[in-house]
Amino acid sequence: MNGSNDTYPSTKEVRRRLLLDSATLPAWRTRFRRRLLAAGLAVLLLLAAGLNLSDSSVAGVGVLVALLCTAPLYFFLRHLLRGVVDVPTDELDERQLQNRGTYYLWAYRFLGLLIVPGMLLTLAVVRGASDDEAVSPGTLGGLIPAIFIIVSILPTMVAAWMEPDEVE
């Protein structure tokens, strides 16, 4: 499997299988709690985006704090979803693959919906700035990591929202 020795799976493969079979924190493996976490992630991302566009002096620190808070939340959600969104195809069964396809489809649709208002907002910020008060490069520079983060996290958020309650 994937260039590994037939007898001894690599540490990475063992970790993936442990993650897929993990049954830790059963109380958190409900759709309701996963949705709460996904909503929390969305709030943090919106907060970071809002702060990035604001003129406040503490905006930079705020963005950093918000983004740092998204990391543990994202990895926790990923653990609860058994990494189904990003483990290699070989490790998944037919249901997981089918679900993953659905999650990516919806993530792609949401991304399309986010891009248009995102571009309009950026355009409004750029055009709204007066000539002597140019838009800070940090504001525009924040767009690239923002796009990267959203593209990376969105499928997991969609999966958290859509995945049904687990079987005990």
Partner 1 sequence: MSPRRAKIEEPIHNRLEMLRAERGLSRRDLADALGVHYQTIGYIERGEYAPSLHLALRTAEYFDRPVEAIFSLEPFAPLSSDSLLGRG
From 43-51, 59-67, 94-102, 132-140, give the range in contact with partner 1 by CB under 8 A.
Answer: 94-102
- Say how far residue 136 (Cα) sits from the centre of its chain: 26
Instruction: For residue 21, state whether it binds partner 1 (rule: CB under 8 A).
Output: yes
* Smallest distance from partner 1 to CB 156, Å: 17
Q: Cβ neighbours of residue 144 under 8 Å, at least 6 residues apart?
A: none
Question: What whole-number distance in Å separates Cα of residue 118 and Cα of residue 101?
Answer: 25
Q: Which residues of 97-107 are buried (b: 16+ CB within 10 A; e: fewer)?
A: eebbeebeebb
Question: Please, is 47 exposed, middle or buried when counting C-beta atoms within 10 Å of its C-beta (0-12, 13-18, 19+)?
Answer: middle
* Residue 20 or 73 having the CB closest to partner 1: 20
* Smallest distance from partner 1 to CB 143, Å: 38
Instruction: For residue 3, state whether it binds partner 1 (rule: CB under 8 A).
Output: no
Instruction: For residue 19, state whether it binds partner 1 (rule: CB under 8 A).
Output: no
* Residue 88 or 138 having the CB closest to partner 1: 88
* Residue selected from 40, 42, 76, 96 as contacting partner 1 according to rule CB under 8 A: 96
Q: Are 58 and 133 a contacting pair, CB within 8 Å?
A: no
Dump the DSSP string for 83-131. Answer: TTTTS-GGG--HHHHHHHHHHHHHHHHHHHHHHHHHHHHHHHHHHHS-T
Instruction: For residue 167, state whether it binds partner 1 (rule: CB under 8 A).
Output: yes
**2 Rama sector, left if φ>0, alpha if ψ -120 to 50, beta otherwise:** left
* Smallest distance from partner 1 to CB 93, Å: 4
* Residue 33 or 60 having the CB closest to partner 1: 33
State the binding string over 30-59 for partner 1 (x if CB under 8 A, else -): ------------------------------
Binding stretches for partner 1 (CB under 8 A): 20-21, 92-96, 164, 166-168
